[in-house]
Structure 1
Amino acid sequence: MMLTTTIVVLLVLLAISIPVAAVMFILALILDWQFAAPPLTAALPNQLWNTSTSFILVAIPLFIMIGEILLRSGIANKVYESLDSWLSWMPGGLMHANIGTATMFSATSGSSVATSATVGTIALPQGVRLGYDDRFFAGSIAAGGTLGILIPPSINLIIYGFLAQTSIPQLFLAGIIPGLGLALIFMLIILVMCWWRPAWGGTRRSSDMGTRMRNLVHLVPVLILFAFIVGSIYGGWATPTEAAAVGTIAAIALAWNAGGLSWRMMGAALEGTMRTTAMIMLILLAANFLNFVLASVGLTDQLLTYIDSLDLTRLQTLMAIILFYIVLGFFVETLSLMIVTIPIVAPLMVELGYDPVWFGILLIVLIEMALITPPIGLNLYVVQSVRKRGSLTDVMVGAIPFVIAMFGMVILLVLFPQIALFIPQLASG
């Protein structure tokens, strides 16, 4: 009865387009009213305070701020121009620069939306001018943007670590090989598709070696920023939150050095940061209270008991959970999907003997897929909003080859867990 009520109420509220944070608060209040003996709302102030004052979550607005500064100061544009000069000679040309820029931007921003918006703003006008296939070009930007939540630092990995009580530095290390591997697979897909359909690749250009070498200097700020953030964490000098603060200061200094620092730019960056942070934190506050209610009324235990009663093997349970995330990814916004499910699913995975760090990376790849699958795929909407022409269906179709690539990465992670665990084990050993 309780499980049925929860599922029905959740689906109905989402179907009538109530904001996700409000859905979770309403669901928590209904479950409290129907199934709790003492009123759990008495614990609401304490739950909200504990979540909103968590030290690790301070990293979220700081990493968002870094991405805003890089975009608005012009540093991201220069990175794109540099990678364009190095990569555009290959079949697919500018699309390789899309993936390369998304990869580098991901190493400083931590946000998929920021990465997609940044690369899309820079690349889409050039794609039209040079005659690239509109659908495939837009799909490459949407897919490249997903790397923002896998390559460290990642806001989604911070949220997973917070909810699953798992080491965030270990998660950051675990995301490096899968993230870079996925970027290379994306580039390989572009090569193959543009070799098969040369017209998709637009006008191929090549730059002389002198131009390429001069443009390398534009990559230095991002590499310095990445070294500041990651180096301070793994050098033992800073926690992820402190590293985000160091990275924000470094980003401001780099913007000043690039001539892009101004009061107007910083005001716009702060406004963008506050908007995104407010959305994320409201969802986190609602989800934390909902998770508290679910545990208090016994629904979490009921669900775990039900899964145990199915008598599935360890691998069958994993396959069922992968399918569960793929299906829900079509219909539920990714951040909400993570926040609602992780407190239930992560302990089950640990109980079955799976490494929580490995499962975190597997989950993030599944979330990446959800970012570019209709009808809720957020990156699809971000790219279309920047694109301002054609239909959303074009972006969806263009993203299909990259969705297949992500599913391939899921299979590789299941078959070869060391893809994610090699660097964390090397660092701790």
Structure 2
Amino acid sequence: MIMVVILGTLLILLFTGMPIFAALMLYGGALLLLVQGNLGPVTDIVFHEVNRYMLVAIPLFGFMANLMIKGRVVDDLYDTAYTFTRHLPGGLAVATILACTVFAAISGSSVATALTIGAVAIPQMLRFGYDPRLAYGVVAAGGTLGILIPPSGPMILYGVTTDTSIGGLFMAGIGPGVAMALVFVVWAVVRSMLDGSTKREKMASLPEMVKALRESIWAISMPIFVLSGMYMGIFTATEAAAAGAWLALAITVGIYRTVGWREIWESAIESARLSAMLFMILAGATVFSHVLTKMRIPQQIVETLVAADMGTLGFVLVMMAMIMVLGMFLESIAIILITTPVILPAMLHLGIDPIWYGVLLVINLEVAMITPPVGMNLFTLQAITNAPLGTIIRGAFPYVILMMAMLGVILLFPSLALWLPQMMLGQ
């Protein structure tokens, strides 16, 4: 009951428009004063949590993504995808999903993926007579792949919070991410066939395909370079981020020659701004979780679960339902940092694999990206298209169902997410 009151009060504070980090830090500090009469060593606790080597990967991956965006590498990526899919029903929609899939492995951000691919793809689809709902839905859903296919900012924060292998989480996200992209492709093709209004072109010749691949080889090589380097043990996740940033510099400055000192500086500033925001939220969440531990709330949750005899499946179902509701109102980073420290003891007690749970969590957060009232991808598309929000929501709705179905599949068959990290890293 106390936990319900505490979380309810926190949600009320967040709904007032108070910044997430301020609500977590101020509310957590106030509770700590009530519990023990002073703040104690809270500054040392926050510094210890934020001063982690693994967190360096966040600004580095952000810098890498910003360089690739400013270097307009995505244009070649989209053109190549369309060359391979233009003969299919809904070829532009399929190309959009494929471009989102590859760009997700570069950006690590759902909003960046939807914004960048959407700016290129949506005008093209509308110009070729695609139903606006199909065009908006494809980009909204394809953009969500940005936090499931590695590298993924939310996965890094979850890994830091639970002390779970980030490399293992990255590997676990590949299979479900690719499978979800394929499900999106199938739906886009079926939807286009039923609609009957989308145009199909002649299948590209082999020379055309080879030429298109040659033009986008550098964009495609980026995720291959980062992931294979981690798989072969050449570098850790943090070192992979640094290596990827250097490769992005080499591609955009030395090969494409579309990035100069100004763009490099802007990319660094944007990455620093995003990282500072995330680290402030992490600091606030640390204070909040510290006071909850002082109040023995995580231990009480474990005791309640043991008494209720819910079992692993029951616990995960309850958590997924709660996160799905929270996702309608809160940003994904806040959900990870608010809920994970509280339920971690219960997860460990029930023997739940943190990598498996992390994949389920991220898929659930993907759903949150395209569900109102606070679906970030929905508002991103509205910003770049000026389309009615209702039209965008209706276009995205079928993909919500598809993602929930994929969530159920991973829930029932954990090996679909765990086989790759088990094979590659022995996780």
TM range (shorter): over 0.9
- Does structure 1 conserve the Cα–Cα contact (< 8 Å) formed by 2:126 and 2:135? no
Q: Could you list the runs of 5+ residues in structure 2 that have no partner in the other structure? A: none
Q: Determine the structure 2 residue equivalent to 1:250.
A: 247
Output aligned runs, 1:348-359, within 5 Å. 348-359=346-357
Matched residue of 2:107: which SS?
A: coil
Give the letter aligned to residue 8 of structure 1. G
1:22 to 2:22 alignment: yes
- Does structure 1 conserve the Cα–Cα contact (< 8 Å) formed by 2:302 and 2:345? no
Q: Determine the structure 2 residue equivalent to 1:399.
A: 396
Q: Determine the structure 2 residue equivalent to 1:194.
A: 192
- Does structure 2 conserve the Cα–Cα contact (< 8 Å) formed by 1:106 and 1:115? yes
Q: Could you list the runs of 5+ residues in structure 1 that have no partner in the other structure? A: none
Output aligned runs, 1:163-182, within 5 Å. 163-182=161-180
Give the letter aligned to residue 24 of structure 1. L
Out of 215, 223, 228, the residue aligned to residue 225 of structure 2 is 228
Would the alpha carbon gap of residues 139 and 391 (structure 1) be closer, same or farther in structure 2, given more than 3 Å must change? same
Q: How far is the alpha carbon of 1:309 from its aligned partner?
A: 3.1
Give the letter aligned to residue 204 of structure 2. D
Q: Determine the structure 1 residue equivalent to 2:337.
A: 339
TM-score (norm 1): 0.94
Q: How far is the alpha carbon of 1:286 from its aligned partner?
A: 1.0
Q: Determine the structure 2 residue equivalent to 1:413.
A: 410
Cα distance in 2 between the residues matched to 1:180 and 1:69: 24
Moved more, 176-185 or 149-158: 149-158
- Does structure 1 conserve the Cα–Cα contact (< 8 Å) formed by 2:86 and 2:204? no
Out of 413, 420, 423, the residue aligned to residue 423 of structure 1 is 420
- Does structure 2 conserve the Cα–Cα contact (< 8 Å) formed by 1:357 and 1:421? yes
Output aligned runs, 1:142-221, within 5 Å. 142-199=140-197, 202-206=198-202, 208-209=204-205, 210-221=207-218
Cα distance in 2 between the residues matched to 1:7 and 1:259: 50
Output aligned runs, 1:79-94, within 5 Å. 79-94=77-92
Matched residue of 1:107: which SS?
A: helix
Q: Determine the structure 2 residue equivalent to 1:65.
A: 63
Cα distance in 2 between the residues matched to 1:313 and 1:47: 33
Give the letter aligned to residue 100 of structure 2. A
Q: How far is the alpha carbon of 1:69 from its aligned partner?
A: 0.8
Cα distance in 2 between the residues matched to 1:217 and 1:334: 37
Q: Determine the structure 2 residue equivalent to 1:316.
A: 314
Out of 376, 379, 393, the residue aligned to residue 378 of structure 1 is 376
- Does structure 2 conserve the Cα–Cα contact (< 8 Å) formed by 1:6 and 1:31? no
Give the letter aligned to residue 26 of structure 1. L
Q: Determine the structure 2 residue equivalent to 1:282.
A: 280
Cα distance in 2 between the residues matched to 1:244 and 1:15: 35
Cα distance in 2 between the residues matched to 1:397 and 1:4: 33
Cα distance in 2 between the residues matched to 1:278 and 1:385: 24
Cα distance in 2 between the residues matched to 1:102 and 1:370: 18
Q: Deviations over 1:229-288 (max 9, x none)?
A: 112222222111111001000000011201212122213322322232222121111112
- Does structure 2 conserve the Cα–Cα contact (< 8 Å) formed by 1:108 and 1:153? yes
Identity of aligned residues (%): 34
Matched residue of 2:299: which SS?
A: helix
Q: How far is the alpha carbon of 1:19 from its aligned partner?
A: 1.6
Cα distance in 2 between the residues matched to 1:362 and 1:7: 22
Q: How far is the alpha carbon of 1:73 from its aligned partner?
A: 0.4
Q: Determine the structure 2 residue equivalent to 1:37.
A: 36
Cα distance in 1 between the residues matched to 2:103 and 2:43: 37
Moved more, 25-34 or 417-426: 25-34
TM-score (norm 2): 0.95
- Does structure 1 conserve the Cα–Cα contact (< 8 Å) formed by 2:298 and 2:346? no
Q: Deviations over 1:277-302 (max 9, x none)?
A: 22212111111221112112222222
Q: Deviations over 1:56-88 (max 9, x none)?
A: 001001111111111110111111111111112
Matched residue of 1:261: which SS?
A: coil
- Does structure 2 conserve the Cα–Cα contact (< 8 Å) formed by 1:90 and 1:191? yes
Q: How far is the alpha carbon of 1:222 from its aligned partner?
A: 2.3
Give the letter aligned to residue 200 of structure 2. R
Cα distance in 1 between the residues matched to 2:55 and 2:258: 28
Give the letter aligned to residue 255 of structure 1. T
Q: How far is the alpha carbon of 1:30 from its aligned partner?
A: 2.5
Cα distance in 1 between the residues matched to 2:294 and 2:150: 34
Cα distance in 1 between the residues matched to 2:231 and 2:195: 44
Q: Deviations over 1:110-155 (max 9, x none)?
A: 1112111111121122122222111221111111111111111111
Cα distance in 2 between the residues matched to 1:347 and 1:391: 44
Cα distance in 2 between the residues matched to 1:162 and 1:415: 26
Cα distance in 2 between the residues matched to 1:64 and 1:203: 37
Matched residue of 1:42: which SS?
A: coil
Q: How far is the alpha carbon of 1:385 from its aligned partner?
A: 1.3
Q: Determine the structure 2 residue equivalent to 1:13.
A: 13
1:121 to 2:135 alignment: no
- Does structure 1 conserve the Cα–Cα contact (< 8 Å) formed by 2:356 and 2:414? yes
Give the letter aligned to residue 291 of structure 2. V
Out of 218, 236, 239, the residue aligned to residue 239 of structure 1 is 236
Cα distance in 2 between the residues matched to 1:139 and 1:208: 26
- Does structure 2 conserve the Cα–Cα contact (< 8 Å) formed by 1:70 and 1:251? yes
Q: How far is the alpha carbon of 1:223 from its aligned partner?
A: 2.9
Q: How far is the alpha carbon of 1:207 from its aligned partner?
A: 5.4
- Does structure 1 conserve the Cα–Cα contact (< 8 Å) formed by 2:115 and 2:384? yes
Give the letter aligned to residue 37 of structure 1. Q
Cα distance in 2 between the residues matched to 1:5 and 1:43: 26
- Does structure 1 conserve the Cα–Cα contact (< 8 Å) formed by 2:149 and 2:177? yes
